[in-house]
Structure formats: structure tokens, C-alpha cells
Homo-oligomer: A and B are copies of this chain.
């Protein structure tokens, strides 16, 4: 066994009573924020729009907060934008994830380096 060939993977999820927020919805929200469209965000992840809606609604219900404002139609042709609380949660999650990965990288080298 050669420790140099071993890699690690870390999955970080946030829960309330049920699974609420993880890598998938974080990416979905970032793309919806970039495209101003949940539909385009879902498409770029190869995900059905109905699934994107379900993931988003589940998270919003579990966390009891609106994460993404969705506008259907209108003069701007619909659109989507992160709510203030959605952006805040996303920033906290990405910070938590980034620093935990940095810590895990150091510890992986301690135990398997």
C-alpha cells in the first residue's frame, strides 16, 4: 500500500431536521445568481427544471427561509436573484467548506503524508 496514491474526499452538508443544504444546491444557487435564471442554472448542471425547483423548495422549507426570488414572465422575461439571506447562507457555507477543506488537507498530510 502506497500512501502517495491515496486521496481523500470530504462531503459537508447542513441539516435542520432533514437534509437541507449541500454542494448541489450551493452550485445551483451560484449559477442561478450568475444567469439570473433557475432554469438556465438547472440546464447547465444537466438537471431537470422540476428537480431544481424541488431541491430549492425542500431547502427553503427545511431552513424556513426564502433563498432565491423567482419571477415568472413580466417585462424582463422572468428572472431569479438570491435573497439577502440566500447570499448570506451561501457565503457562510462556502467559507465553512473552504476552511474545513484546508484543515482536512493539513490533517491528511499528517496521517497519510
Please tell me the number of chain A residues within 8 Å of chain B, measured between CB atoms: 33
Q: Is A69 an interface residue (CB 8 A)?
A: no
Q: Is A53 an interface residue (CB 8 A)?
A: no
**Which residues of chain A from 68 to 113 have any CB-CB distance to chain B below 8 Å in the complex?**
85, 89, 92-93, 95-96, 99-100, 103-104, 107-108, 110-112
Please name all residues of chain B whose beta carbon is closer than 8 Å to the beta carbon of A2 when the two chains form the complex.
Answer: 64
Contacts of A89 in B (CB 8 A): 1
A5 touches B1 (CB 8 A): no
A85 contact set on B, CB distance < 8 A = 1
A49 interface residue per 8 A CB criterion: no
B1 near A6 with CB under 8 A, answer: no
